[in-house]
Structures are given as structure tokens and as C-alpha cells.
A and B are shown apart, each in its own frame.
Chain A
Amino acid sequence: EAGVAQSPRYKIIEKRQSVAFWCNPISGHATLYWYQQILGQGPKLLIQFQNNGVVDDSQLPKDRFSAERLKGVDSTLKIQPAKLEDSAVYLCASSLDFKFSYEQYFGPGTRLTVT
């Protein structure tokens, strides 16, 4: 069974530029999560999807971050414009269905450096 795929693995941009990250969850997983992990901290949830609907985006800085999961499979997270404090690892995770399965499987992450 293939795991959660993410790309790119690394990205370096200048502040005020835009960037997009892509995630492909495990096949058949209805729930998809995006977490932000700042160096020295644990991951923090940004947004959660159930199929193509948003379950929780309370921690997403909506003035600069956006995310979508149009067909209920792949997801894209975008930052526009980026700030220095957005430097972090962005982790995507998926679970079978949050209503009855609480195990989340994580991808390798995208390391973003904003200069």
C-alpha cells in the first residue's frame, strides 16, 4: 500500500512570493489533514478535510493561506504572500475516516524556507 505522497520535498522562496504544496493521501482515505511544524515544535493543525469539505480551518491564517481538495483526493496548500515566519515543515496526513478511525498516516513533509 502506497503511503502519503507530498511534493516538493524542499522549497526556498523569498518573502512576499507565493508557494504551493501538493499532497496525495492513501487511497480510500476520506480525511486529510495539513499540519505546520516549526523548528523545535510539534506539528500544529492548519486545516482538515473530509472528502472535499472543510471540517476545521480555525488555525489557518486565511489572509495568506488557502487550501483545497476539489475532488476529494489530492489536496493543495498555498501561501501567498509568504512571510519569514512561514518557514517550517508542512506535513500532510490522512486517515480512513475521522468519524471512526483516529490513526493518521503522515507524508514525508515539505520543508519551506522563506528568506
Chain B
Amino acid sequence: AQSVTQPDIHITVSEGASLELRCNYSYGATPYLFWYVQSPGQGLQLLLKYFSGDTLVQGIKGFEAEFKRSQSSFNLRKPSVHWSDAAEYFCAVGLYNQGGKLIFGQGTELSVKP
């Protein structure tokens, strides 16, 4: 069965420090992968996506993610975190052979300390 695992439920980083959020997926075919961010009381905003091609993808707000097929991973990174990055981050796999529905991980809550 398809699944997405985000091993870290909560991460705290200092403002200006680098960030890496982990995501592992289980899917029998080439995945479509997404990272979304959710601020309190808000819907989900797409940060970046991977469909094919270059395995390092750039997104909005200075985020990037790297697809590693051998590790079934799609980790999210940012070189310097800002206080406004504090939010919940969700990794998702898109099932293109099942109507494009998204399977989400449980999320990683990011706190940023000054």
C-alpha cells in the first residue's frame, strides 16, 4: 500500500540556521511528490513538486527538495530559516493512476527560536 512517513513530528531550529525535514514514501511506481506548508488556521500551500527530470527541485520561499529514488526519500531543505517559516509541513505522494489523489504524511511541526 502507498504510504508517506515523516519521522520527525516536531523540530525546533534557531533563526538563521539550516533546516532539513525528512520524508520517505512507499509507492510501486515513479512517484509524483509534493511538499505543502500549513500555517495555523490556514489551508495548505504548495511549496514545491517533483514529477520527473532534475532530482533537485526549487520551490517558493527559498525551499528546495531532493528526490532520491534509491532511498525512497524526498527531503525538504532551506539554508537559512526565518521566523515566518514556523508552520506545519506535509509531504505527499500523488497517485497518478488513482485519479491523482494525494497521500499525506502526518506532518512535521517546525518551531523557530530567535
Contact = CB atoms under 8 A, between A and B. Distances in A.
A77 interface: no
Interface string A36-78: 0000111111001010000110000000000000000000000
B46 A102 contact: no
Interface residues of A, number: 28
Sorting the interface of chain B by its residue count into under 10, 10 to 19, 20 to 34 or 35 or more gives 20 to 34
Contacts of B106: 40-42
A41 B106 CA distance: 5
A107 interface: yes
Interface string B71-111: 00000000000000000001010101011111011110000
A91 B107 contact: no
B92 A4 contact: no
A65 B44 CA distance: 23
B104 A56 contact: no
A91 B41 CA distance: 11
A95 interface: yes
A22 interface: no
B53 to A, nearest CB: 15
Interface in A10-49: 31, 33, 35, 40-45, 48
7 contacts: A44-B104, A56-B101, A98-B99, A98-B100, A102-B96, A103-B49, A105-B46
Interface of A: 4, 31, 33, 35, 40-45, 48, 50, 55-56, 91, 93, 95, 98, 101-109, 111
